[in-house]
Amino acid sequence: MVNLLNLDQQGLIDFFSSFGEKPFRATQIMQWVHQQGLLEFDAMTNLSKGLRQHLKEIACFSLPEVKRHQISQDGTQKWLLQLDSENSIETVFIPEDDRGTLCVSSQVGCALNCHFCATGYQGFNRNLTVAEIIAQVWLARHRLCPNQTISNIVMMGMGEPLTNFDNVVTAMKLMRDDFAYGISWRRLTLSTVGIVPAIKRLREECPVSIAVSLHAPTDELRDQLLPINKKYPLHQLMSACRAYTQGKPSRHITFEYVMLKDINDSPAEAYALVKLLKNIPAKINLIPFNPFPSCPYQRATSESINRFRDILTQAKLVTVTRKTRGDEIDAACGQLAGKVLDRRRKQ
């Protein structure tokens, strides 16, 4: 059986063409599934009875099971989704007065081992399929209250999206498609620690907004916090970021910077960051660290965060201190873990 949630518009066109159906069947299916929320072929009344019967024999819509739904005091919601007998992921919805942001996972765990991230501590099991990625959007959209809408989607959940490139891009094309979710590229953001070749490829294939998990202004410090920096050091990453915005005057790169006490929060690091981001259209998100068990780091003080921010703003860098949301249900930045196999049992 073909899980049709794995297919974007072109994939559905190819699927229907394989047994002689017209291309417009693709958009009909997309509207029923992604806009109306229907997963039963018999309910798709603009399909002929014969086609509906044939689809029931060869295709399906398979969704993860919602195992737990939590709502924090600030309205943040988190779903634990069971993918199979051994793997789960987490998806988070963050409501604001002027928008609603869905944080979507791309992998079960993460292989990049960033030292301040709960997901990295869990190890890596596998990539998500297109269906498992887009199902997070489908489930959230059709489980939120009528007055809650998803205006923004961020690929900032569990995993490194650019190491699951093909599936993530296909899912983002569905997110952007007007026959599915209609999210503009300005409101669709992919977060990456800096997989340089994939950033270059993304610019050509699906130029959404990107957020770079930077967290340090020097190679020496970034090597300690994000081991991937040893493979793609800062000069390569900054070059890729400049290229990503080239020819797009309205586009900027968001740089994520987790504030760790006595690690990366001094004025010296702030001035080094100003120098590093010179000539890059940049916005900086300062993220108060969200602790989790077994992690040795502490959150930087409010005083040091404010001092850091002031140095950046005085250098005319657009800088925002991110509000911590959903931390009491472990839904805040860096806290997502889900349930994955302990990597130590694989050795």
- The CATH number that applies at residue 201 is 3.20.20.70
- Active-site residue among 103, 114, 241, 333? 333
pTM over 0.75: yes
Are residues 224 and 242 both part of a single domain?
A: yes
- Give the mean pLDDT of 228-242: 96
Are residues 129 and 9 both part of a single domain?
A: no
| pLDDT tens-place string over residues 304-344 | 999 999 999 999 999 999 877 555 545 444 444 544 444 43
In the annotation, is 295 catalytic? no
Are residues 20 and 88 both part of a single domain?
A: no
| pLDDT tens-place string over residues 92-121 | 999 988 899 999 999 998 888 787 777 766
Domain span including residue 27: 2-60
Are residues 79 and 173 both part of a single domain?
A: yes
**From CA 233, how far away is CA 101, in angstroms rounded?**
31
For 122, residues 6+ apart whose C-beta sits below 8 A from its C-beta are 109, 110, 337, 338, 340, 342, 343
Are residues 32 and 135 both part of a single domain?
A: no
In the annotation, is 333 catalytic? yes
Are residues 50 and 128 both part of a single domain?
A: no
- Active-site residue among 21, 90, 132, 269? 90
Q: Residue 7 belongs to a domain with what CATH number?
A: 1.10.150.530
Are residues 126 and 206 both part of a single domain?
A: yes
